[in-house]
Structure 1
Amino acid sequence: MTRVQANLVLLLSAAIWGGGFVAQATAMDRIGPFWFVGLRFAIAAAAVLPFALMEQKRIGRAPTSAEMIGFALVGCALFAGAITQQIGLMTTTVTNSSFLTGLYVVFVPVLSILVFRKAPHWIIWPVALLSLFGIFLLAGASVSSLSTGDFWSILCAAFWAMQILLAGHFVSRSSRPLALSATQFAVCAVLAMAGGLLLEPLSLQSVRSSLVEILYVGLISSGLAFVLQVVGQRYTTAPQAAIFLSSEALFGAFFGAVLLGESLPATGYVGCGLIFMAMLLVELVPEILKRRNNSRRMRA
């Protein structure tokens, strides 16, 4: 797979996630966030497991214990991102959640310093400030206007950034995208259901009434889109993957407007534009400067 094809796969994944925001938000009227996350990823794990076993048969050996530990770490990051996003959707809009979640494109390079000791490009720091200003406008030009759900969504973006970093790191080392996907889904499901048992009531009626949303996000948003993400990340860099995946913010806002009738004030749209501009700059500026430097070296 070429890098262009990989990025198109990631773009498809982002479009699926954007549609999933609507299903995630509407389901919160009938079922708690922990049980919703647990059930969606249990379905995703069951759907991917047969393909992971076929992958193992093709490779000729089971994953090593070190590989499984790495896959489980990705699952922990996935759980943290999924549950904070779901809790946030209880008190914020699909539009706000999708754009604030997209901040992971800024967090990915920053976390790469802390986790892998890789210094980011200088563009990260002005882009981070641009993103913060975008959040300020998205909140109606008042920090006090940020809802609890908005803060959960920002926290969610940090966890998604960790999941993207870890997924890219471990899939490149193991070349087992389906085993990684099945493991991270299973770990996430177990952690979420454990939280549900401790914190939330569950009834058959609540599951039945939200079954369409659970099946969509379980089979499509989780089972298909996350597998596409892991497959695509084998052939591109984590920062570049983040920029294509961040387009879910646009898809989320689009589906929120079309299906739920959501809208923003003028300052909110400006804020969304600044956040998306930050997402583009964090990837485009380093690439443009890199190509210019290469051209100068070739002429020299």
Structure 2
Amino acid sequence: MNKLKSYKGDIILVLAALVYGSGLVAQKDGMNNLGPFTFTAIRFIMGGIVLIPVAMIVRKHKSPEQKAAEMPVRKMLKGCIATGFVLTAMVVAQQYGLPYTTVGKAGFISGLYVILTPIAGVLFLKRKISPRIWVAAIISVVGFYFLSLSGGIDNINRGDVLMLITAIAGTIYLYTIEYFAGKADTCIFTLLQFLATGAICLPFALILETCTLHDIYLAMWPLLYAGLGICGVGYTFQMLGQKYVESERATILLSLETLFSLLSGMILLNEVLTFREYIGCGLMFAAVMLAETNSKPKKIDEEIYKL
């Protein structure tokens, strides 16, 4: 029975990775009608709202002792606002970069946060990491070269640079979450930070971008997929899957989103990579796999959900 539950969890987590990976297609398609801040504001407000019933169900099944041990919502707000600013920087950089690169490349480059996170822990928090992380970092640099720099520094794609900024912001985001969300209800914290992100983006959208109701209507399907699909369905699938699968295995399965982003771009957007870029994708995927098969479970993995 335990093995059956494990297989069930594996399937659910692969489905979550599919939702996350294909979500970049929706994000790119949404840029045809909406600006980065407008699209981000609407999708995260939608995502926060759709998580409210999920949070209520999760909280209903918690014991009084578990509820008492958690951080009060009032104290969460400071952390939610802080993570909202970091999340805004991460996602808006991704939105700005998507029109200039392929969905496949975007998925692999932005996924570098998996390797950058432990390295940042060594440099800034004096933490120790396995030697395999350093090997993974070297492989990922070589992969990034084949993916984005093989034509020389003068030919680097601005979208790839923005995806690298997304990965760096993602690293900061993970540690911000770790700092604030240690004792918080992860589901409530997540929906509050989604709403905070939407609220932060909204004034920028109103000031810097032009948007009509017709524009929102034209971008409705990408918005629904990015807001309800990724934040609602993907998040719920991940929570369900991680009930049956240990954290280390779960992160490996969720990393399949990079492959799904590549396949989604090829199938839905007819994107084609060069042979060198495929080599780069392969190297970067190998680096991520190597980093995520670290012998010690990662604490912050238990608090972070894909966006």
CA RMSD of aligned residues (A): 3.0
Q: Which of 27, 33, 46 does residue 36 from structure 2 map onto?
A: 33
1:218 and 2:227 correspond: yes
Partner of 1:99, secondary structure, is: helix
Question: Which residue does 2:295 correspond to in 1?
Answer: 287
* Pairing partner for 1:207 from 193, 204, 216: 216
TM-score (norm 2): 0.81
1:177 Cα offset (Å): 2.6
Say yes or no: does 1:101 pair with 2:101.
no
**2:99 alignment partner in structure 1:** 90
After TM superposition, the structure 1 = structure 2 runs for residues 25-104 of structure 1, keeping only pairs within 5 Å, are 25-56=28-59, 63-64=71-72, 65-104=74-113
Between 211-220 and 196-205, the greater mean CA deviation after superposition: 196-205
CA gap 1:29/1:11 in 2 versus in 1, 3 angstroms: same
Q: How far apart, in 1, do the equivalents of 2:242 and 2:84 lie? A: 16
Q: CA deviation at 1:215?
A: 0.8
Instruction: Give 1:38 deviation, angstroms.
Output: 0.5
CA 1:192–1:241: 2 relative to 1, 3 Å:
farther
Out of 36-45 and 222-231, give the one that drifted further: 222-231
The reply on whether 1:278 has 2:281 as its aligned counterpart is: no
Aligned position for 2:164: 154
Cα displacement (A) at 1:84: 1.1
Match of 2:267 in 1: 258
Aligned pair in 2 of structure 1 residues 114, 6: CA closer, same or farther (>3 Å)?
A: farther
More displaced 10-residue stretch of structure 1: 20-29 or 43-52: 43-52
Cα distance 1:173–1:229, how it changes in 2: closer, same or farther (>3 A)? farther
The residue matched to 2:128 in structure 1 has which SS?
A: coil
Q: For 2:262 and 2:225, locate their aligned partners in 1 and report how far apart those are by CA, in whole Å.
A: 18
CA contact (8 A) 1:168 1:230 kept: no
In the alignment, the residues of structure 1 paired with residue 178 and residue 16 of structure 2 have an alpha-carbon distance, to the nearest angstrom, of 15
Structure 2 equivalent of residue 194 of structure 1: 203
Question: Closer, same or farther in 2 for the Cα pair 1:6/1:108, shift >3 Å?
Answer: farther
Per the TM alignment, residue 77 of structure 1 is displaced from its structure 2 partner at its CA by 3.0
Alpha-carbon offset, residue 125 of structure 1: 2.1
Change over 3 Å in CA distance of 1:70–1:112 after alignment to 2: farther
Mapped pair 1:15 → 2:18: yes
Match of 1:246 in 2: 255
Q: Alignment partner for residue 184 of structure 1, among 193, 197, 204?
A: 193
Structure 2 counterpart SS, 1:90: helix
Q: Where do 5+ consecutive residues of structure 2 fail to align?
A: 297-307
CA distance in 2, matches of 1:81, 1:241: 23
- 2:122 matched to which residue of 1? 113
- Partner of 1:276, secondary structure, is helix
The farther-off stretch of 178-187 and 250-259 is 178-187
- Give the aligned partner of residue 183 of structure 2: 173
Tell me whether 189-198 or 247-256 shows the greater mean CA deviation: 189-198
1:137 partnered with 2:146: yes
**5+ long unaligned stretches in structure 1:** 289-300
Q: 1:240 to 1:83 in 2, by over 3 A?
A: farther
Q: How many Å separate the matches in 2 of 1:165 and 1:244?
A: 22
Distance 2:164 2:242 in 1: 23
Amino acid at match of 1:145: N
| Number of residues of Structure 1 aligned to a counterpart in Structure 2 | 285
Contact conserved, 1:178 with 1:227, CA < 8 A, in 2? no
Question: In the TM superposition, what is the alpha-carbon distance from 1:223 to its structure 2 partner?
Answer: 2.2
C-alpha separation in 1, matches of 2:104 and 2:183: 36
